[in-house]
Amino acid sequence: MNPPESAETWVGLSETPLPLDRVHAWVGRPDCGGIVVFSGTARDHSQGRPGVTVLEYEAYEEQVIPRLETLIDEARARWPDIGRVALLHRVGRVEIGDSAVVAAVSAPHREEAFAAARFCIDGLKATVPIWKKEAWQGGESWGLEAQHISDAAALHPSGESVS
């Protein structure tokens, strides 16, 4: 998974480990003093499920890239000064400790970088059709509960759905 050479947006799905160092290097720009990189890693537990051993992600792949791009368009409308934005997500098997998702934003100042990065990661969770299966000591299951997929324009500034 390689960054685009001249674009300001990098989105994608990957069956291989996410290139966190390349994301950080790519997202920076000379006019941007703030870079926020959020990496969501697979952890060894979830609510009521101790001993999680592995995660597996599936995606409605035809919808993922367009929805990620729409989410970034919405972030740019809300924070016009942001620079580069990367939203990458794993599919397939993700081992404990590995990054499952990365959201990175550069901006001239930290306030916009933090706000836009939070909006992007929270918005990704609310608007992009990606599902997680957990395997733990007592069994395995797809997610904890059904999640309604929202539209990016309907998101609160924090990235949470307001519907």
Give the predicted TM-score (pTM) of the model. 0.87
CA-only gyration radius of the chain, Å: 16
pLDDT digits (tens, 9 = 90+) for 122-131: 999 999 999 9
Q: What's the whole-number mean pLDDT along residues 76-103?
A: 97
Instruction: Supply the pLDDT for residue 158.
Output: 60
Q: Does residue 163 register a pLDDT over 50? A: no
Report how far residue 43's alpha carbon sits from residue 99's, in angstroms, rounded to the nearest whole number. 10
Instruction: Supply the pLDDT for residue 133.
Output: 93
- Average pLDDT score over the chain: 90
Q: Does residue 65 register a pLDDT over 50? A: yes
CB atoms within 10 A of CB 88: 25
Please report, as a single letter, which amino acid is at residue 99: S
Residues sharing a CB contact under 8 Å with residue 21, sequence separation 6 or more, in sequence order: none
Residues sharing a CB contact under 8 Å with residue 75, sequence separation 6 or more, in sequence order: 82, 85, 105, 116, 119, 120, 123
Q: Report the greatest alpha carbon distance in the chain.
A: 50
Instruction: Supply the pLDDT for residue 147.
Output: 55
Answer for the pair 150, 161: CB distance below 8 angstroms, yes or no.
yes
Where does residue 52 rank: exposed (0-12), middle (13-18), buried (19+ CB within 10 A)?
middle
Q: Which CATH superfamily is domain 9-44+60-138 in?
A: Molybdopterin biosynthesis MoaE subunit (3.90.1170.40)
**Domain residue ranges in the chain:** 9-44+60-138
